[in-house]
Amino acid sequence: MKSDYIEIDVQRSKDGKLVVIHDTTVDRTTDGSGKVGNLTFDELRNLDAGGWKGGQFAGAQIPTFDEILDRYHGKIGILIELKAPELYPRIEENVAKKLKERNLDKPQNEKIIVQSFNHNSMKKMNKLLPKVPIGVLTSSSADTTKQALEEFSTYADYFNPSYGIVTPDLVNQVHSLGMQIGSWTVRSQEAANFLLDVGVDAIITDYPDYVDLRN
């Protein structure tokens, strides 16, 4: 669908394996229950992560971070969200190690971005991977003050707010501080059109065809 990036959420199993799953529990998107971090990798892997969506997806497994990197790097950009890193001490080091193993920590590989709602985690990632673009996620207008944006600009390359708090002035402020702005999660043509009109740099969406400038 001509997307520039895929967005993934990285968490960690009880026994230390990095896995890609959105929620911090498995209840909504698998046939299991419990917190991701309380289940071993084998327990996570044995869950059916597709049947809820439709019979043709039955048996789909929760992928590992390794699998996603190996399958997609070099083919499409990967926007890596650390999901609730406060639940997984030192997950920043775990993720950085995987990227370094594949030489994805170098500036010529611009198609890797790391982001999180946990801003302290992103400060840490900026130190671990100084050449990889860092994004801060927020849905709070408290993070859009001049002071907050200036603080983010000391370590982040992207300021990624929910589209409900995006204004033309915010886009201008973010750009004036040398950051780019990517907004989420777009599920209507109207929201996509608004964000394009105000000049955001990226749109995170479930419907890439809404934002394809080639249409």
Q: What is the pLDDT of residue 33?
A: 98
Q: Which residues are CB-neighbours of 103 under 8 A, at least 6 positions away?
A: 109
Question: d(Cα 163, Cα 8) in Å, to the nearest integer?
Answer: 19
- DSSP annotation of 57: G
Q: How many residues does the chain have?
A: 215
Q: Which residues are CB-neighbours of 32 under 8 A, at least 6 positions away?
A: 26, 39, 43, 44, 47
Instruction: Determine how many CB atoms are found less than 10 A away from the CB of residue 172.
Output: 13
Phi, psi of 147 (to 5 degrees): -65, -45
Structural domains in the chain plus CATH codes = 5-23+63-210 (3.20.20.190)
Identity at 183, one-letter amino acid code:
S
pLDDT tens sequence for the chain (215 residues): 889 999 999 999 999 999 999 999 999 999 999 999 999 999 999 999 999 999 999 999 999 999 999 999 999 999 999 999 999 999 999 999 999 999 999 866 679 999 999 999 999 999 999 999 999 999 999 999 999 999 999 999 999 999 999 999 999 999 999 999 999 999 999 999 999 999 999 999 999 999 877 55
The H-assigned helical ranges of the chain are 41-45, 65-72, 91-101, 119-128, 146-152, 168-176, 189-198
